């Protein structure tokens, strides 16, 4: 916890984020979740930690918090692999799925493994000798590698040899056709190196992986670049050469190999984790793809469509299908009165995106289609370059973002001619154009004041002019932070005047110090505040004379909590807002974001009901403690279990 000059307290955002990842890991330990889904939570924890080391840890090397972070990560890894071993036992007991280590294979299984290796793996791997004539090859971040100490049978000299797994190599290898018996490919290779190094004695082989610093901002000087997609691809290549930031290696390796990895392959790397199990558990995602095991998975989500998408329609995804948005674009593509379709794209599905396909179909049907594809979306840059090229091939006009800012706003604008007049229809969202992955809201509206603002936003994004005469939208970075502070200040004034004052805010991250200070001020003024923050939260609740009136919650469930929802009581004249922006400095000062009001009474009721349900959840809801840590909310024994995501899943 750190203290600023005003003696306001702020919890370290990285420790807070790690605490969130621990909550994700907790879901992997709970039998209330289906068996395959527990495997998915383990995979998600591994993926999350990888990104944390690639982006956040490089910024922390010189800070005092690094030791605390390393201890938290080390503790998390121990729990993660203990649960992995439990998962293997449960898979073996409850299904016909078995993931075996090579040493546990029986004689027949070993024969099958050797046969598979000789026919499918051996021809595809290329060992590299490491000496003065054979320098260490580049090892990409996240690549599983094997390093061996070899001794020539006829000489005393020892040498090192390196094998890297291919980027597209399947980690899980199936050994039997009539049974789901799997072995990890690196384990298979390690135990069959005798067929590769026939003239050598294999003294030792270790499996390791390095994680590199990928905290590289792309397109920092976009105004000087002629071919922006090519520049992004070039910068992504540079990212592969980032400084090693973490080493993971198999247990019980010799000091000789450890010294070689630390001294030659990843010099000066201080984050070193000995892994008691397979390195990188993201291979568990392949378990989810196996057919015939539906009872071990969450029940499938049924697509819920709205017949009428005119007027003000509020959709709660994924319970209201995101295909409603795709369908809107497809319908517009076939409507002879539609003139143009404009859309911002920050992240979309990596493969076979329905949104991209709908936009391509619209362009092919002769519509003017304009897309702003944000090429600076971290870790999605390569995908976005690909989609930008595909859209351009289809005849869409593609814009590659805005200089010095990320375009994070989620907007769709359809321009149509009706009764010889121009009419706008728009969709504004809290999240990306993904199907079924996140909880998000979409507002579909034809109200002139909002849709004309959306049209103005696209004009500002696409053209040189900047018209900031907004009627309803609050657009960042110029106006967003001030508006949020103003809304909180109004609740403070109401509380001081003995008027009704309350704030409910739901978001993914809360780290902006100025907003946190204003929330502390609101708490001390008597404003009741409920915050639902999925991940990093630097505000500390429940501290006397600081945040006594603030409660912070976090939900970790089947669907990733992603919507940004804000409620201000305003002495009974309640105001509701949705946004693409979290209350984090990067969102409020370095991105183009949109905060938009919900004005239809039925939609207001829908949002209030939603927030009440989230705050009623007694299965997946965690509460923050005054030390910044979290614990699950205790359910009263007389209370029925209530999982808010399950409620909306089953609601017709």
Which residues have a Cβ under 8 Å from the Cβ of 459 and sit 6 or more positions away?
465, 467
Task: Tell me the backbone φ, ψ of residue 410, rounded to 5 degrees.
Answer: -115, 100
Report the chain's terminal Cα–Cα distance, integer Å. Answer: 45
Which residues have a Cβ under 8 Å from the Cβ of 431 and sit 6 or more positions away?
317, 410, 438, 440, 441, 562, 563, 580
Task: Give the other-Cβ count within 10 Å of 379's Cβ.
Answer: 14
Bridge partner residues of 201 (DSSP):
151
DSSP state letters, 374-430: -TTSTT-HHHHHHHHHHHHHTT-EEE--BTTBEE--EEEEEEEEETTEEEEEEEEES
Task: Give Cα 316 distance to the centre of its chain.
Answer: 19
Distance CA 22, CA 280 (A): 17
Beta strands 575-579 and 564-568, pairing class: antiparallel
Task: Give the other-Cβ count within 10 Å of 170's Cβ.
Answer: 12
Distance CA 556, CA 21 (A): 10
Bridge partner residues of 274 (DSSP):
249
Question: Do the Cβ atoms of 28 and 38 come closer than 8 Å?
Answer: yes
Distance CA 300, CA 558 (A): 12
Which residues have a Cβ under 8 Å from the Cβ of 623 and sit 6 or more positions away?
551, 552, 553, 630, 631, 632, 633
Based on the residue annotation, tell me whether 408 is a catalytic residue of this protein. yes
Look at the alpha carbons of 231, 234, 236, 239 in this order and tell me if their dihedral is positive or negative. negative
Q: What is the dihedral of CA 472, 474, 478, 480, to 10 degrees?
A: 150
Distance CA 339, CA 369 (A): 9
Distance CA 500, CA 572 (A): 7
Catalytic residue among 249, 350, 386, 408: 408
- Strand, coil or helix: what is 28? helix
Q: Minimal CA–CA distance to 112: which of 166, 50, 179?
A: 179
H-helix segments, 431-551? 448-462, 480-496, 513-524
Q: Which two tokens stand for residue 224?
A: 């000087």
Beta strands in 487-602, from DSSP E residues, in sequence order: 502-507, 528-533, 550-555, 560-561, 564-568, 575-579, 591-592, 594-598
Beta strands 591-592 and 406-407, pairing class: parallel
Distance CA 382, CA 404 (A): 19
So which residues are the catalytic ones? Answer: 408
């Amino acid at each position: 916890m750190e203290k600023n000059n005003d003696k306001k307290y702020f919890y370290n955002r990285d420790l807070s984020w790690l605490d969130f990842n621990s909550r994700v890991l907790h879901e992997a330990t709970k039998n209330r979740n289906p068996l395959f889904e527990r495997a998915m939570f383990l995979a998600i924890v591994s993926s999350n930690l990888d990104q944390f080391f690639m982006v956040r840890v490089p910024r922390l090397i010189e800070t005092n918090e690094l030791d605390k972070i390393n201890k938290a990560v080390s503790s998390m890894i121990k729990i993660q692999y203990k649960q992995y071993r439990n998962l293997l036992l449960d898979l073996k007991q409850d299904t016909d799925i078995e993931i075996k280590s090579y040493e546990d294979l029986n004689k027949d299984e070993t024969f099958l493994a050797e046969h598979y290796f000789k026919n499918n793996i051996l021809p595809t791997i290329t060992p590299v000798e490491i000496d003065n004539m054979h320098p260490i090859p580049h090892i990409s971040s996240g690549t599983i590698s094997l390093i061996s100490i070899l001794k020539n049978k006829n000489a005393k000299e020892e040498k090192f040899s390196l094998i890297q797994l291919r980027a597209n190599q399947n980690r899980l290898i199936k050994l039997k056709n009539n049974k789901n018996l799997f072995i990890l490919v690196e384990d298979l290779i390690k135990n069959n190196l005798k067929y590769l190094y026939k003239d050598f004695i294999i003294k030792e082989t270790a499996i390791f992986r390095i994680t590199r610093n990928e905290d590289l901002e792309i397109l920092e000087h976009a105004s000087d670049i002629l071919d922006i997609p090519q520049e992004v691809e070039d910068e992504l290549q540079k990212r592969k050469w980032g400084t090693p930031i973490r080493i993971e290696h198999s247990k019980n390796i010799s000091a000789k190999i450890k010294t070689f990895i630390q001294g030659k392959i990843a010099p000066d790397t201080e984050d070193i984790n000995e892994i008691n199990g397979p390195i990188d558990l993201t291979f568990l995602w392949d378990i989810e793809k196996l057919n015939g095991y539906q009872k071990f998975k969450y029940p499938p989500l049924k697509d819920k469509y709205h017949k009428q998408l005119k007027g003000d329609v509020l959709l709660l995804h994924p319970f209201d299908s995101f295909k409603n948005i795709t369908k809107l674009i497809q319908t517009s593509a076939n409507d002879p009165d539609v003139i143009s379709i404009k859309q911002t794209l920050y992240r979309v599905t990596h493969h076979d995106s329905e949104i991209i396909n709908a936009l391509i179909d619209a362009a092919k049907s002769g519509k003017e289609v304009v897309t702003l594809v944000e090429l600076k979306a971290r870790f999605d840059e390569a995908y976005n370059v690909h989609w930008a090229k595909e859209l351009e091939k289809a005849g869409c006009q593609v814009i590659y973002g805005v200089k010095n800012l990320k375009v994070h706003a989620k907007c769709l604008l359809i321009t149509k001619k009706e009764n010889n007049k121009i009419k706008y229809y728009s969709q504004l969202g809290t999240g990306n154009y993904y199907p079924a992955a996140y909880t998000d809201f979409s507002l579909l509206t034809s109200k002139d004041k909002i849709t004309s603002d959306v049209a103005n936003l696209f004009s500002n994004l696409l053209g040189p002019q900047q018209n900031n005469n907004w009627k309803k939208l609050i657009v960042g970075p110029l106006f967003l932070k001030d508006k949020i502070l103003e809304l909180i200040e109004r609740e403070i004034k109401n509380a001081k005047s003995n008027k009704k004052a309350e704030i409910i805010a739901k978001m993914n991250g809360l780290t902006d110090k100025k907003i946190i200070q204003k929330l502390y001020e609101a708490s001390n003024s008597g404003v009741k505040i409920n915050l639902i923050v999925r991940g990093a939260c630097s505000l500390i609740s429940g501290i006397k004379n600081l945040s006594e009136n603030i409660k912070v919650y976090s939900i970790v469930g089947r669907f990733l909590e992603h919507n940004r929802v804000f409620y201000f009581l305003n002495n009974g004249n309640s105001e509701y807002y949705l946004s693409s922006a979290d209350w984090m400095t990067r969102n409020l000062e370095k991105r183009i974001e949109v905060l938009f009001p919900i004005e239809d009474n039925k939609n207001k009721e829908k949002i209030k009901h939603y927030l009440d349900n989230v705050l009623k959840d007694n299965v997946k809801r965690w509460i923050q403690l005054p030390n910044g840590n979290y614990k699950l909310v205790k359910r009263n024994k007389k209370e029925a279990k209530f999982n808010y995501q399950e409620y909306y899943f089953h609601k017709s």
